[in-house]
Amino acid sequence: MTRARQDDPFLLFRIGSRIGALAVGDVRETMRPLPIEPLTGTPAFVLGVAIVRGSAAPVIDAGRLLDPSALPFAATTSPSAARFVSLKLGDRTAVLAVDAVLEVRSLEAGILARIPPLLSKAEEEPVSSIGALDAQLLLVLEAARLVPDSVWSEIKAAGASA
> For the chain, how many structural domains are there in total?
1
Q: Minimal CA–CA distance to 8: which of 120, 146, 105?
A: 105
Could you read off the pLDDT of 94-128 as tens digits, one per residue? 999 999 999 999 888 788 888 889 888 788 888 88
- 13 belongs to a structural domain: yes
- 3 belongs to a structural domain: no
- 4 belongs to a structural domain: no
Could you read off the pLDDT of 52-90 as tens digits, one per residue? 999 999 999 998 888 877 766 654 443 434 899 999 999
Which pLDDT belongs to residue 77?
42
Q: Fill in the amino acid letter for 22.
A: L
Domain CATH for 134: 2.40.50.180
- 69 belongs to a structural domain: yes
- 162 belongs to a structural domain: no
Which pLDDT belongs to residue 80?
38
How far apart CA 34 and CA 58 sit, in angstroms, is: 12
- 91 belongs to a structural domain: yes
Do 63 and 70 meet the contact criterion of CB atoms below 8 Å apart? yes
Q: What domain range includes position 130?
A: 9-156
- 51 belongs to a structural domain: yes
- 68 belongs to a structural domain: yes
Mean pLDDT, residues 122-144: 88
Q: Fill in the amino acid letter for 12.
A: L
Residue 31: partners with Cβ closer than 8 Å, 6 or more residues away: 52, 83, 84, 86
